Amino acid sequence: MSISFILFRIEVAVLNFLKILNFLTLAISCLSGIYIDIYKMRKSAAVEKILSYNDVVLRRSDLDILSGPYFLNDRIIEFYFSYLPSCYPSEEILLVSPSIAFWIANCPDIESVKDFVEPLNLFSKKLVIFPVNNNDDVTEAEGGNHWSLLVFERNANVFVHHDSYGGLNAGHAKQLYRAIVGYMGISDMASACKYVEYSKTPQQVNGYDCGLYIAAIAKAICSWYESKSELKDEDGLWFSTMNEQVNPSVVAKMRNEILGLVKSLMAMK
């Protein structure tokens, strides 16, 4: 076999290899383009607005959160807190949005806090419910990984912290309490306003249902307030009602309850 023939065969093999390589390069490029298009489509679908309720806008990704066993984000908490007053209408009750509660707790400028607090008319409210989040970074939207509830009851002049995970948010709740107590309209009584870390708060059985617990507890407290002439503990608070109405079984149903609520409101639009 001549050397020229061998060289010819090698040249043919190299050309075939280059053709295959070029084909693979084009195929990979096409697949990458398809993947990018799919990613963009999914991302676009995730941020699609599905419901505007009061001042809260929910997106497609929020439905996914409610459909699966996931940590509830700020928007879902804000939506539910915006919805509850329609079930328990009273000018004496205020459910504060997560973003406002977070800013009050973490704002370094007292004047800015006043700007946020004044429209809330806290001095006229008998029952105020604040969501507490353990995010420490004011520059990070929707940060943190745990929710709890801080509740002010005017007649008892007390703030009560309910944490479904063994007091994990105790420090953050106390921070919010210190930031807001002076704006509650109790003037020189502020120093006498009690702070209670309620140790018998119903406890979650997993690492992601804290948002559902604060939703269920807030609902129970609003229910208690509406019927408080009939339902009253010795201390005049809601603890018995809460422990009767909030348990793992009830909380497990809350996810579908909120999801069903969102879908029903979507159907009405």
- Output the pLDDT for position 28: 75
Q: Which of 20-29, 51-60, 74-83 is predicted with the least confidence, judged by mean pLDDT?
A: 20-29
Q: Minimal CA–CA distance to 66: which of 264, 267, 259? A: 259
Counting residues of the chain whose pLDDT is more than 70, the rounded percentage is 84
Pick 208 or 109 by higher pLDDT.
208
| pLDDT tens digit sequence for 210-257 | 999 999 999 999 999 999 766 666 678 999 999 999 999 999 999 999
What is the rounded distance in angstroms from the CA atom of residue 237 to the CA atom of residue 10?
90
> Per-residue pLDDT averaged across 18-25, rounded?
76
Is the pLDDT confidence value at 190 over 70?
no
- Output the pLDDT for position 90: 96
Is residue 198 within 8 Å of 160, Cβ to Cβ? yes
DSSP the chain: --HHHHHHHHHHHHHHHHHHHHHHHHHHHHHHHHHHHHHHHHHHHHT-EEEEETTEEEEHHHHHHHHTT----HHHHHHHHHHHHHHS--TTEEE--HHHHHHHHH-S-HHHHHHHHGGG-GGG-SEEEEEEE----TTSTT--S-EEEEEEETTTTEEEEE-SSTTTTHHHHHHHHHHHGGGSS-GGGGGG-EEEE-TTS---SSSS-HHHHHHHHHHHHHHHHHTTTTS--TTSSSHHHHHHH-SHHHHHHHHHHHHHHHHHHHHH-
> Please, which pLDDT band fits residue 141 given cuts at 50, 70 and 90?
low
- Output the pLDDT for position 39: 42
Query: pTM here?
Result: 0.81
Q: Which is it for strands 147-153 and 127-133: parallel, antiparallel or unpaired?
A: antiparallel
Q: Which of 37-46, 121-130, 209-218, 228-237 is predicted with the least confidence, judged by mean pLDDT?
A: 37-46
Phi-psi region of 195 (alpha: psi -120 to 50; beta: other; left: phi over 0): beta
Is the pLDDT confidence value at 263 over 80?
yes
Is the pLDDT confidence value at 35 over 90?
no
Q: At 63, which amino acid appears?
A: L
Please, which residues have CB within 8 angstroms of residue 154's CB and are 6 or more apart in sequence? Answer: 125, 126, 127, 184, 186
- Provide the sign of the torsion angle of the four alpha carbons 122, 126, 131, 132, taken in this order: positive
Q: Which of 33-47, 80-94, 157-171 is predicted with the least confidence, judged by mean pLDDT?
A: 33-47
- Output the pLDDT for position 41: 43
Q: Which is it for strands 93-95 and 56-59: parallel, antiparallel or unpaired?
A: unpaired
> Per-residue pLDDT averaged across 167-187, rounded?
93
Is the pLDDT confidence value at 33 over 80?
no
Architecture of domain 70-268: 3-Layer(aba) Sandwich (3.40)
Please, which residues have CB within 8 angstroms of residue 135's CB and are 6 or more apart in sequence? Answer: 102, 143, 144
Mean of the per-residue pLDDT values of the chain: 88
> Please, which pLDDT band fits residue 131 given cuts at 50, 70 and 90?
very high
Counting residues of the chain whose pLDDT is more than 90, the rounded percentage is 68
Is the pLDDT confidence value at 38 over 50?
no
Is the pLDDT confidence value at 188 over 80?
no
